[in-house]
Chain A
């Protein structure tokens, strides 16, 4: 439960509390959870006095808010209804499924975001259309490109550079006039807003090490996005 919550975008305190409450509701005499950057350590005492410890690695973290909401609702349900372990397991398997979005739908959504933010920050209709076109590069990389990249920062920088190159191309062929306005619509698609907010919330709730790590990762991500988008106009 804790690993799945963290993977779907929850803050560390919520993940720890949910795991503890669920374990107690399912019959553990006591339970303690510790999350440390990318792993979770859970120790619980069963009703007959035996102690068990389990460690899990958190490999991916992203945003799947529908899954987050389902898991959160399930943890509430387990605590309130005191359901059995078997039912809880089957409901967990159901709630833990990744929410699938059709590729075409995700391309359209990114185009809308880029289009609107380009207009929002002062771009004209030409810039907004160019921004929407280059947003497809980001979405394409998100869907296909992350397989070959072990390092998230390099992936973000390469994606930003490619999107920036497409933005610049649209400017060079006369589709748009202002490169910055085209790029800004795309930057908002990659901006690490979720990580920053979660990091601050973690720091406030006392998970300082986890929060600082997340915050630093967000700062580096923001830098790699900005450098990735600024480079094409200087290099190409």
Chain B
């Protein structure tokens, strides 16, 4: 629990600074930071439940994307803005670095292991974004059709 709280505070501060660096408005920064903490909490939870890298990143990023889409609709801001900052705790920057370091040092076992890990995590995040994108698109179309029908029925 201590480790979780420690890392949660670090996520809170770093996502705030990251969002401010991307010149985000203060109100949106707050929404993105909550998203970042939620992303980290989801990852922390899924790491305990599963050992499958792809699944962990897919589910954690899924939580982020869903949160971003909901908050974007409530606050009338682009979902991309919230998503991009909130997903920062999942970005596999360190794994790519270790992979490249292994390559440059001729330690191919480290290179391959980390490269596969990086691809799985990036693939997990990308798939979550893709699935949420498809679901959001379908939802939008259903609402459009429904509104069209309602307008047709009205005198």
Contact = CB atoms under 8 A, between A and B. Distances in A.
Of A65, A200, A234, most buried by chain B (CB within 10 Å of CB) is A65
Nearest to B102: A230
B47 interface: no
Interface in B36-64: none
A113 B101 CA distance: 22
Interface in B83-103: 83-84, 87-89, 91, 93-94, 96-101
A117 B92 CA distance: 12
Contact of A113 (B21, B83, B97, B104): B21
Given A65-B81, A113-B18, A187 B105 contact: no
B100 A9 contact: no
A65 B7 contact: no
Interface in A174-232: 180, 183-184, 187-188, 191, 193-194, 196-198, 200-201, 203-205, 222-223, 225-227, 229-231
Interface in B11-37: 11, 13-14, 17-25, 28
A229 B87 contact: no
B148 to A, nearest CB: 17
Contact of A205 (B89, B96, B137): B137
Nearest to B88: A193
Contact of B94 (A67, A76, A121): A121
Given A64-B23, A106-B21, A184 B87 contact: no
B38 to A, nearest CB: 16
A204 B23 contact: no
A188 B101 CA distance: 16
Contact residues on B (Cβ < 8 Å of other chain), bracket: 35 or more
A226 B98 CA distance: 8
A9 B80 CA distance: 9
A194 B80 CA distance: 9
Contacts of B133: 200-201, 204-205
B134 A69 contact: no
Contacts of A76: 76
Contacts of A127: none
B93 to A, nearest CB: 4
Contacts of A121: 94
A9 B11 CA distance: 23
A210 to B, nearest CB: 15
Interface in A67-85: 67-69, 72-73, 76
Interface of A: 9-11, 14, 63-69, 72-73, 76, 99, 101, 105-106, 109-110, 112-113, 116-117, 119-121, 180, 183-184, 187-188, 191, 193-194, 196-198, 200-201, 203-205, 222-223, 225-227, 229-231, 233-234
Given A204-B134, A230-B105, 6 more contacts: A65-B24, A109-B17, A116-B10, A116-B17, A120-B89, A200-B130
Interface of B: 7, 10-11, 13-14, 17-25, 28, 76-78, 80-81, 83-84, 87-89, 91, 93-94, 96-101, 104-105, 122, 125-126, 129-130, 133-134, 137
5 contacts: A63-B23, A72-B78, A116-B17, A188-B91, A222-B96
